[in-house]
């Protein structure tokens, strides 16, 4: 199961990086037409997406005990979405042997992810946004 999840989250990360890069090269995020941004289904999709992000964050906040790490991961998830979430999952999945039981990943293991990981994601994405 661990190998399947490693592959799955690697595909999520890779596809999100590709589609986000492609989309940003096509048009700025802030150039979304008013008719799209105000469309009821666009709004419903944003609500659905962000509630999923917050649900994931609740699990992450359970695993990460340091408030600084929790805050930085929250910001990364809100701004980068599935890119940040899949990276967090990949870090967790590569810390354990492939034959580990899934509950080992899901439960708190007192091995937090370093605070600089979400910080570096935010700095890199902010730098890219400045040049885009």
Tokens 């992810």 correspond to what residue? 113
Average pLDDT over residues 21-38: 84
Q: pLDDT, tens digit, for every residue of 67-112?
A: 999 999 999 999 999 999 999 999 999 988 888 888 888 888 767 7
The boundaries of the domain holding residue 94 are: 2-14+38-131
Provide the greatest CA pair distance for the chain: 50
Q: pLDDT, tens digit, for every residue of 40-68?
A: 999 999 999 999 999 999 999 999 988 99
- Looking at the domain assignment, is residue 24 inside a domain? no
Of the two residues 74 and 132, the one the predictor is more confident about is 74
pLDDT bin (cut points 50, 70, 90) of residue 127 is: confident
Average pLDDT over residues 12-24: 92
Confidence check: pLDDT of 26 > 90? no
Residue 41 burial (CB count, 10 A): 8
- Looking at the domain assignment, is residue 10 inside a domain? yes
* pLDDT of amino acid 132: 60
- Looking at the domain assignment, is residue 96 inside a domain? yes
With H, G, I as helix, E, B as strand and everything else as coil, classify residue 57.
helix
- Looking at the domain assignment, is residue 29 inside a domain? no
- Looking at the domain assignment, is residue 69 inside a domain? yes
Domain count, the chain: 1
Tokens 């590569």 correspond to what residue? 94
């Amino acid at each position: 199961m661990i190998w399947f999840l490693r592959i799955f989250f690697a595909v999520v990360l890779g596809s999100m990086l590709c589609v986000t890069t492609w989309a940003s090269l096509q048009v700025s995020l802030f150039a979304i037409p008013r008719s799209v941004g105000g469309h009821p289904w666009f709004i419903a999709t944003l609500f659905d997406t962000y509630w999923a992000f917050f649900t994931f964050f609740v699990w992450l906040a359970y695993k990460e005990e340091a408030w600084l790490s929790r805050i930085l991961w929250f910001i990364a998830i809100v701004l980068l979405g599935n890119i940040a979430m899949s990276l967090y999952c990949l870090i967790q999945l590569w810390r354990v042997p492939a034959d580990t039981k899934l509950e080992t990943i899901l439960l708190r293991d007192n091995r937090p992810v370093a605070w600089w990981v979400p910080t570096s994601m935010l700095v890199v994405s902010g730098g890219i946004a400045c040049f885009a």
